[in-house]
Structure 1
């Protein structure tokens, strides 16, 4: 009977039960790909990670949603970093090997930070009117320009004119699947608006045909927001606090830094506990 140990953590958490939950499998080397997918489906969190040996970094990390594997995601990277440090005495700064490449991580002042890959971007084909209808908003809510950005996983960055519109979003899953599908065939939408501290944001994805889900805290999208900033604001430096999860009452606080073309995303990690899976 296989036995695997896991830890449960909340990432981007300002309180014990805030942030975005993550399960980290301490040693996934005995599991086949389909078994990793089954374990991720069992936890049914937005992502579950599996730690593996690496010849290039402190550890190799594979990231699974309940239905597919991802090359990169933000909160799984930061949560996995905390577990890698605890298990392998890796120190406060090291690299993690992802399918998207080597991701530098570091711990500073109680927060974990990752350095994202250099972004690529392209315009969204949907018009402002189509995006507004997709989100259940009036046309004046779209601030533009909306871009596809990829720092490891491609997502649509849709700027809005005010926080009230971020909170009012009611995406139509059929229209998200029509107007906002990335190169991997996934329907997603990340919306954001400026605040005095930085940005208020929400992230949606099509869970199944006719069904939409919302992520409480999305580090990969925060990195892509940094890519949107570089594409639209040039070399203007940015240090911002990103609030997410407000509407679904699961507050997340992310930090975003853009300087000299480089993007860093950070947040606090709270470890709740762990246990064993046996089958």
Structure 2
């Protein structure tokens, strides 16, 4: 059996087609088993691989796999898959059936907007701002506003910092991100670090993998 797939880069910078966050999208996964999907995601070895399936409710049923497990929702795989579906079907507005619920995505040219399946749920972070700054190898006052655990389908630790330079300089300490950034609902440690840069947001996402931070 042959399956068509595409490698797309999401969040490319200044027209650089090889920048951004890579994603593998299988265009039609109707004959694949769960085991095959997981094996292919492991073979591709990207942060996520998506599989497009028919849906009797909305545009498509989309499943998202990391090399190790299936995710109910994630932002960059959703946007990248929407780009592929638009190129296949000529649609500027799509809705995906995902494990987290129905996710709507719209485009205007190359600008994409998604609506999460549910409103964000938040909870406080037990670590202090200074402890999170230390976790990121930043000055003690670098965390500029309240950090939060945010869940719109999957839980993320979201940390605002004072400047784009802080985002670029962030270098997580593996043992500290395991301590302060571990989510029991995801059984992994991660952190989103962000700051405003003009009319945009500069964001970096860190996660642990076998003791290293990626």
Question: Shared topology, TM-score over 0.5?
Answer: yes
Higher mean C-alpha displacement, 161-170 vs 183-192: 161-170
CA shift, 1:90, in A, is 5.8
Structure 1 residue 6 and structure 2 residue 2: aligned?
Answer: no
What count of residue pairs does the alignment treat as equivalent? Answer: 210
Q: Does 2:92 correspond to 1:92?
A: yes
Aligned partner of 1:190 among 183, 186, 192: 192
In the other structure, the counterpart of 2:208 is 206
Q: Please report how far the alpha carbon of residue 22 of structure 1 lies from its aligned counterpart in structure 2 after TM superposition.
A: 1.2
Q: Which residue of structure 2 aligns with residue 253 of structure 1?
A: none
* Residue in structure 2 matched with residue 111 of structure 1 by the alignment: 111
3-state SS of 1:132 partner: helix
Tell me: CA distance 1:134–1:33, structure 2 relative to 1, closer, same or farther (3 Å). Answer: same
- Tell me the secondary structure at the aligned position of residue 79 of structure 1: helix
Q: Distance in 2 between matches of 1:96 and 1:54?
A: 8
Q: 1:31-64 deviations in whole A, cap 9, x for unaligned?
A: 2212111101111111110011111111100001
Q: What is the rounded CA distance, in whole Å, between the counterparts of 2:87 and 2:171 in structure 1?
A: 41
Partner of 1:77: 78
Q: CA deviation at 1:25?
A: 0.8
- 1:180 and 1:188 in contact (8 A); partners too: yes
Aligned alpha-carbon RMSD (Å): 1.6
Measure how far apart 1:15 and its partner are. Answer: 2.8
Matched, 1:102 2:113: no
Q: Structure 1 stretches (4+) deviating beyond 3 angstroms?
A: none
String of CA shifts for 1:130-156, please: whole Å, max 9, x gaps.
Answer: 212211122111213110011121101
User: Are residues 165 and 86 of structure 1, via their aligned partners in 2, closer, same or farther at CA, if it must alter by over 3 Å?
Assistant: closer
Cα distance change of structure 1 residues 169 and 110 upon mapping to structure 2, 3 Å threshold? closer
d(CA) in 1 for partners of 2:201, 2:4: 37
Structure 2 residues not aligned, in runs of 5+: none
Is the counterpart of residue 180 in structure 1 residue 194 in structure 2? no
TM-score (structure 2 length as normaliser): 0.91
- Report the counterpart of residue 144 of structure 1 in structure 2: 145
Cα distance, 1:18 vs. partner? 2.2
Distance 1:80 1:133 in 2: 36
Structure 2: how far apart are the matches of 1:91 and 1:166? Answer: 35
Q: Identify the residue that residue 170 of structure 2 maps to in structure 1.
A: 169
Runs of 5+ consecutive residues of structure 1 not aligned to the other structure: 214-279
Shift in Å, 1:4: 1.4
Contact 1:58 1:90 (C-alpha < 8 Å) held by counterparts = no
Q: Contact 2:154 / 2:186 at 8 angstroms: preserved in 1?
A: no
Q: Match of 1:28?
A: 29
SS in structure 1 of the partner of residue 132 of structure 2: helix
